[in-house]
Amino acid sequence: MNTQSHAMPESSFQSQGIAPASVSQAQILYWSIRRELWENRSIYIALAAVAVMFLFGFVVNMVTLRHRISTSPLDPALQRHVLATRYELAGALIMGTALIVGIFYCLDALYGERRDRSILFWKSLPVSDVTAVLSKLAIPIVILPLLSFAVTVATQFFMLLLSTVILAGSGVNIAMMWREASFFQVSFVLLYHLLTVHGLWYMPLYGWLLMVSAWAPRAPFIWAVLPPFVICGLERIAFNTSYCLNLLGYRLTGSRSGNGMAEHSAPSDFMATLIPHHFFSEPGLWTGLAVGAAFLFVAVRLRRYRGPI
**Can you spell out the DSSP letters for the chain?**
-HHHHHHHHHHHHHHTTPPPTT--HHHHHHHHHHHHHHH-THHHHHHHHHHHHHHHHHHHHHHHHHHHHHHSPPPHHHHHHHHHHHHHHHHHHHHHHHHHHHHHHHHHHHHHHHHSSTHHHHHTSS--HHHHHHHHHHIIIIIHHHHHHHHHHHHHHHHHHHHHHHHTTTT--HHHHHHTT-HHHHHHHHHHHIIIIIIIITHHHHHHHHHHHHH-SS-HHHHHHHHHHHHHHHHHHHHS--HHHHHHHHHHH----SSSS-GGGS-S-GGGGGSHHHHTT-HHHHHHHHHHHHHHHHHHHHHHH----
pLDDT of residue 16: 42
Q: Is residue 289 part of a domain?
A: yes
In a domain, 5, yes or no: no
Q: Using one digit for the tens of pLDDT, what is the confidence trace for 225-236? A: 999 999 999 998
Domain for residue 14, yes or no? no
In a domain, residue 13? The reply is: no
Residue 66 lies in a domain: yes
In a domain, 182, yes or no: yes
Query: Is residue 125 pLDDT above 70, yes or no?
Result: yes
The number of domains in the chain is 1
pLDDT tens-digit profile of 75-90? 666 666 777 788 888 8
pLDDT of residue 150: 92
Least confident of 10-19, 180-189, 191-200: 10-19
Full residue range of the structural domain in which residue 77 is found: 25-305
| Residue 261 confidence (pLDDT) | 41
In a domain, 260, yes or no: yes
Residue 20 belongs to some domain of the structure? no
List, for residues 100-112, the tens digit of each pLDDT value: 999 999 999 999 8
